[in-house]
Amino acid sequence: MSSKTKKLKVRTFKRDIYAWLGLLLLLLAGYFLYTYGHREPYRFESVKGADLSQDPLLLALSFGQISDHDSGNSLSIEKFRKYLSFLKMEGFTAISLKDARDFYYHGMAIPQKSLLLFFERGYITTYKEVDPVLRQMKWPAVVVIDPHQIDQRNTHYLYWDRLEKMQVSGQWEIAAAGNIVDERALIETKGLDGDASDHERALKIGGQAAQAVARRIRDHYRASLEIIEDKLDDDHPLAFVVDQKMEDSWPLNEDQRKVYLSALKHSYQLCFFADNFGLNTMENKPLGLKRLRIDSGASYLQFCALVKGIVNAPTVTKEPAFKDMYWVLESDSATQTSDRLVLQGEPRAAAWLPPGRRIDGWEIEAKVSLIKGQFWFVQESDADPGSFWRFGGDASGLHLQLGKKGHPVHNLASFAVVASASGSHLKIVKRGEGIWIEWNRRPLLKSPLYLPGKWQGKSGWIGWSPEGKAHVVLYQARMRYLAPEIYKIANWPDEEEVQRLISIAPQISGITFQRGLIDGKALCLNSYDRILFKMLCHRFGWKLIPTITVAAPEGNKRVDLDDLRLPIQMLTEKMLHLDFSLINLVGISRSKLDNFRRGFQKKLAISVASKPAWHIIDASTSIAPLSTSKRSPSKVASG
């Protein structure tokens, strides 16, 4: 009997199949995680096609930690995407630190609305969350690191391997940060009791103590730089970013600041400080640039209002209506409605406007209603951090004062008028180096008051109360910028000419006279009434701008700008007006003139005279045809 052949069967176990599938999935997941974590960042190429300018607006924004959700100390990636979309819609184009360096040191044109993006402290989320977004937009950015912190191997921060990948891509640049305050050492002070453990104290002492501090600060900057160069294959960071602790202790004394900036200059080409606006122009110094820290707790609408406030700040040619003026509110204690600013806070509330773009002539008007406390209109100095002037007061009287952080306020003038809840009309005019004030449409001064110093910083309103909550309401607070009104005067004017100038003193920004002539490389100077001019400018707050006429070369040839450098440098005046004829500037572009101006420590105004109009380029106006006036004294230019 034949037996049936049994079919062979394969014995399988579900448990083994699941185990192998699980292992395969783990391997695949590990592979994808590894390749994502070690991906090559987008190979960045400079953005082309943007409208380039020699006189741009450079906005520097600084972000902290960015994660997948909003929290008390981090910004969500979704909100960050909205921020970037809004900036792009407003016409901003991101640039690199190299672009900023070439602009400030070599005069290279950059986009009219340029944007620098900083990401502080080198969070790991900058690589995981931010990098893909920026790659998609093809925007460059800067990651700010403290090299001493990285070596602590904190898992929340980037380590050198990923920083190197970011830097090699060309999209990311590295900026150094640090805090010299926490690394102070005892410094021997011979001839004095004790040691100087405080940098500021040692700098005040001077001598060997100050020299030791200067060396220590310089060595600290250099040490951070060398660590980055070593870890990132000799990549030399262009910028240093001053962190919060260092800013809080940054010296206000000008001589002490020079020590810090001199130490920075040995290692870095750019330096960024925190600011309310982060607004930079061609007038900023490369070691004194500003950046705006973005508050992670701010809403999207608050961010938009801040950027619009910077972009839509009034200029000589644009005076926005009140509803279009975006006052940057210092906190929730200040509010803006369609027709008023309300400052209500304990002990203070404030609203600010960005600093004028190279404009030092302006006019502000508002109806001031003081309900409780004091009101002040304040302008800060860019050139001397911590310095300010202010006008305001309370129900007991009004004052014009000059002050500096940490020092007593100096009273320049007091007025026997008072502020009240019923409201009073205030008008302040800043022209040249003088201040003119009207209260309820009546002048408080017989002539403009001379205001020493350089005042091109932010300005705004402050409500303050020594007891309880301050409450100030400002109706239709509007600022507009004024083009300069420069009048020509004889080198040795008679009494009648001087009196005609004095009769229109509030309208005048400055006076000019014929200082001399540049013919080729030769400089011929004229005498003038030096004592009288100095007295007039100090008495009425005018600027003194000597005019140097540049003679046309023989044969109507184009003037060689390089031939003018030596004679201009021989002049001791801090401000000059170079008067060219139209024919000898044919073929010389605005950018060449701007680059020429940048090569001097002094301030140059350049005008091209032709009949019947003027073209003027200076720190207050752009090129525009200007009509000459027939009245005496003759008005040389206005915007």
3-state SS, residue 85: helix
Mean per-residue pLDDT over the chain, rounded = 78
Confidence at 37, pLDDT banded by 50, 70, 90? low
Checking if the pLDDT of 319 tops 90, the result is: no
358 compared with 619, residue with greater pLDDT:
358
Tens of pLDDT along 42-72?
A: 445 555 556 777 778 899 999 988 887 766 6
Query: pLDDT of 456-483, one tens digit each?
Result: 778 899 999 988 899 999 998 888 878 7
Give the pLDDT confidence score for residue 98 in this predicted structure. 92
Check: CB of residue 328 under 8 Å from CB of residue 352: yes
Structure tokens that stand for 183 in this block: 């690394």
Range in 177-181, 392-396, 617-621 with the lowest mean pLDDT: 617-621
Half-sphere exposure of 137 (CA within 13 A, CB side): 22
Give me the pLDDT at residue 639, please. Answer: 42
Digit-coded pLDDT (tens) for 11-22: 556 677 778 888
- The answer to whether 602 and 575 have CB atoms below 8 angstroms apart is yes
Mean pLDDT for the stretch of residues 529-546: 91
Residue whose structure tokens are 């060309």: 170
Quick one: pLDDT at residue 321?
54
> pLDDT value at position 240?
87
**What's the CA gap between 535 and 533, in Å, rounded?**
5
pTM, to two decimals: 0.72
Q: Which residues contact 586 (CB under 8 A, 6 or more apart)?
A: 558
Residue 225, pLDDT > 90, answer no
Please report the pLDDT score of residue 253 as a whole number.
60
Q: How far is residue 422 from each of residues 166, 307, 369, measured CA to CA in Å?
A: 60, 34, 6
